[in-house]
Structure 1
Amino acid sequence: MSNTTTAPTRLLGGTELPAAGTWRLDPGHAEVGFVGRHFMLTKVRGRFTGVDGTITIGERPEDSHVSVTIDMASVHSGDTARDDHLRSADFFDVTNHPSATFASTQVTWNGNRGTMTGNLTIKGTTRPVTLNIEYLGHARDPWNNDRAIFSAHGKINREDWHLTWNMLLETGGVLVSKEIELQLEVELIRQPTAN
């Protein structure tokens, strides 16, 4: 049920933002995706369907914190052979590293946009990542849950996480791009506060 003791949104500096408190990521409405290039030309998209996370929104947006866990075996790119390869030791090595995690360390905010820097751990390696974030708005679903909708994107070099598998092309270049674009579209569900 919805937390009806306080409004689900508030005005800060004239901008509507989600109320402070605990929000949970809705896995059924979370697009945690990535885009790479094949032959250095064609965009190849993938996504993870197994995502769980808690977002604590601070009274000041800068005091917010995000903690997310990703089931790496849940990767889907539209091609079974490619997905199996991504799960193998060449890439995510899901047998030995079934989960990836992200924990924020710093948030900056201006209006309905901001940046979030955090530690992304993949395959046992942790590196900082910065995402550009946008708050898209609030909705109340038919079951009276308050939802906050966010979009985020950023770029990483996959080799920073030792995801180095590749093949050289006869024409020059490599088969799979090192640069990967992260694209996230998520809905957060407001959690009740303790009485």
Structure 2
Amino acid sequence: MTSSATSPTRTVDGVELPAVGDWKVDPGHAEVGFLGRHFMLTKVRGRFTGVDATVYIGERPEDSKVTAVIDMASVNSGDTARDDHLRSAEFFDVAEHPQATFTSTSVSWNGTSGTLAGDLTIKGFTRRVELDVDYLGHAKDPWGNDRTVFSARGKINREDWGLTWNMALETGGFLVSKEIELSLEIEAVREV
């Protein structure tokens, strides 16, 4: 393993990875998205625009950590009525639970991919989540900041977090799917 205090990357087992240290997620370049199904057929996508997160890259990739706070009122699915319903007590209940949090508990890593496990708290319920993560690379922005880029995805059952509102359909099934796909596209800026 090689490392340099000034280099934004390092080589671990022949693979380029971000340098050790804290990387602050840039909320303007962070996509914290979700996908559910309406009528069990139509894909409905949404995202949270209010994200405050830090990625700590450990000397060993397995020692890395992620903490995040998500502003639940920042939900945006492209439809005002649906977003208002998601903010209501029937879903996220942002009046009582304005934030969701994520704290990683373990990382397994192989090359430029790995699994990030952690505790996700929504609406007062904390459950374990696993995300498949890919390191996509490094870039220097026009202002001289070092950026590292990650992509992640996973699936959850929304009812595990008390998000149980639904309506039965006359033809069978439910209006809103229980299974939700999570997708994250993250740019993080190296803290100096």
TM over 0.5: yes
AA partner of residue 101 (structure 1): T
Identity across aligned pairs (percent)? 72
AA partner of residue 138 (structure 1): H
Question: How do 1:44-55 and structure 2 match up within 5 A?
Answer: 44-55=44-55
Cα distance in 2 for partners of 1:191, 1:113 equals: 23
2:47 is paired with a residue of what secondary structure?
strand
**2:11 equivalent in structure 1:** 11
Question: How do 1:24-173 and structure 2 match up within 5 A?
Answer: 24-173=24-173
AA partner of residue 184 (structure 1): L
Structure 1 residue runs without a partner (length 5+): none
Provide, for residues 86-124 of structure 1, a one-character-per-residue CA deviation record: whole Å limited to 9, x for no partner: 000000000000000000000000000000000000001
Q: Return the offset for 1:54.
A: 1.1
Structure possessing the higher relative contact order (Cα contacts under 8 Å, 6 or more residues apart): 1
Cα distance in 2 for partners of 1:14, 1:43 equals: 40
Cα distance in 2 for partners of 1:5, 1:54 equals: 19
AA partner of residue 93 (structure 2): D
Provide, for residues 108-152 of structure 1, a one-character-per-residue CA deviation record: whole Å limited to 9, x for no partner: 000000000000000011000000000000000000000000000
Q: Return the offset for 1:55.
A: 1.0
Q: Does 1:177 align with 2:174?
A: no
Cα distance in 2 for partners of 1:56, 1:134 equals: 15
AA partner of residue 121 (structure 2): T
Cα distance in 2 for partners of 1:6, 1:88 equals: 47
The total of aligned residue pairs comes to 189
Cα distance in 2 for partners of 1:148, 1:58 equals: 14
AA partner of residue 82 (structure 1): R
Q: Where has structure 1 moved over 3 Å in runs of 4 or more?
A: none
Q: Return the offset for 1:43.
A: 0.3
Cα distance in 1 for partners of 2:67, 2:9 equals: 21
Provide, for residues 11-70 of structure 1, a one-character-per-residue CA deviation record: whole Å limited to 9, x for no partner: 111110000001100000000000000000000000000000111100000000000000
Cα distance in 2 for partners of 1:164, 1:170 equals: 19
Structure 2 residue runs without a partner (length 5+): none
1:83 is paired with a residue of what secondary structure?
helix
Cα distance in 2 for partners of 1:171, 1:86 equals: 25
Q: Return the offset for 1:5.
A: 4.7
AA partner of residue 57 (structure 2): I
Q: TM-score, normalised by structure 2?
A: 0.97
